Amino acid sequence: MSAPSTSFLQAPPRAFVLVAVSYVLSLGAAWAVMRFAPPMHPLWALFLADVAATLVVFGFSRAFDNSSFYDPYWSVMPIVLAAYLPFSGLPGVVGLNARQGLMIAVVGFWALRLTVNWMRGWTGLAHEDWRYVNFRKQFPRAYWAVSLGGIHLFPTVCTFLGCLAMWPAATSSAPLGPLDFIGAAIAIAATVIEYLADEQMRAFRVAQLAGHTTSRTCEVGLWGWSRHPNYFGEIAFWVGVWVIGLTASKADAWWTAAGPVTMIVLFVFASIPMMEKRSVARRPEYADLQRRVSMLIPWPPKS
């Protein structure tokens, strides 16, 4: 992970331009799939369009030897899908209504926060996520196959499953109800939690660099109640999106639970163990934090 900077953006403009070009072209590929795909269920067409867009981004990752081209995709794709559905003209979609407007607002708020956070932390084409660097060391000959499957396509599948709840929301003309607002409140609160966690960690790391603290483990704010409050917020966000979609069509939308379940499995059994292993290896004192502080759900620490 790169050191935090007091400037808002660390990467040179050229790097952001290249990423923007890759995403414009990826959206073009997605549009082409939706335009020329043979008859099939709209969700399958959307999934194939999502994969096509991912492959374009992967092409840029390969061309510039940096898999972090994909990093903003996690936050960009959901808001594109949420904004596209009401105007797509796909079979079953009712057009823009109050529920879809609520979905766009909730997902847009989350996407803006997460994308800006990525922009602040990315230092440019020479910077790559530490997990990708580890994959390069572990799979020197097969790295790009691992990158395609594990860094690009697998997260695309996860986010697409998380977005499934947008479909019942887009195909229902039922009026908004209390559960819609509960789902929206969960998603917005979760986004705020992610924001606070990221800001608290950024402030802690700046204090480290300035010599204002000798601690190597952050226990500031939310981090004193959860070892991974940002991941807790991310999971809670997808639960909130699911509640909105489920509310739109209670009778036949339970299958969209695949979204939040996928996120729980992804973070609890993959992302968190990877982070925990790295933290213990770099900071032996982290084992004491594991004993005292909840792994995921914020909870008062043990003495």
Q: DSSP string of 85-124? A: GGGS--TT---S-HHHHHHHHHHHHHHHHHHHHHHHH---
Judge residue 173's burial from the number of C-beta atoms within 10 Å of its C-beta, 0-12 exposed, 13-18 middle, 19 or more buried.
exposed
Q: What is the pLDDT of residue 4?
A: 52
* Number of domains the chain contains: 1
At residue 49, what is the residue type?
A: A
**Which of these, 138, 35, 144, lies nearest to 90 by C-alpha position?**
35
In whole angstroms, what is the distance from residue 222 CA to residue 195 CA? Answer: 11
The answer to the question of residue 94 being in a domain is yes
* Rg value, the chain, Cα: 20
In whole angstroms, what is the distance from residue 262 CA to residue 127 CA? Answer: 28
Strand partners, 294: 226
CA 294 to chain centre: 22
Residues 176, 226: contact at Cβ < 8 Å?
no
In whole angstroms, what is the distance from residue 198 CA to residue 238 CA? Answer: 18
Residues 166, 46: contact at Cβ < 8 Å?
no
Q: What is the pLDDT of residue 7?
A: 57
Q: What is the pLDDT of residue 253?
A: 83
The answer to the question of residue 1 being in a domain is no
Residues 33, 88: contact at Cβ < 8 Å?
no
In whole angstroms, what is the distance from residue 48 CA to residue 213 CA? Answer: 49
Q: Which two tokens stand for residue 40?
A: 């099939």
User: Residue 239: how many CB atoms within 10 A of its CB?
Assistant: 21
Q: Which residues of the chain have pLDDT under 70?
A: 1-8, 251
In whole angstroms, what is the distance from residue 273 CA to residue 227 CA? Answer: 11
In whole angstroms, what is the distance from residue 135 CA to residue 280 CA? Answer: 19
The answer to the question of residue 215 being in a domain is yes
Q: What is the pLDDT of residue 32?
A: 98
Give the structural domain span for 269: 13-292
Q: What is the pLDDT of residue 303?
A: 79
Q: What is the pLDDT of residue 294?
A: 98
The answer to the question of residue 2 being in a domain is no
The answer to the question of residue 299 being in a domain is no
The answer to the question of residue 301 being in a domain is no
At residue 86, what is the residue type?
A: P
The answer to the question of residue 77 being in a domain is yes
The answer to the question of residue 3 being in a domain is no
Residues 182, 241: contact at Cβ < 8 Å?
no
Residues 117, 230: contact at Cβ < 8 Å?
no
pTM: 0.94
Report CA dihedral (259, 261, 265, 267) to the nearest 10 degrees.
Answer: 60
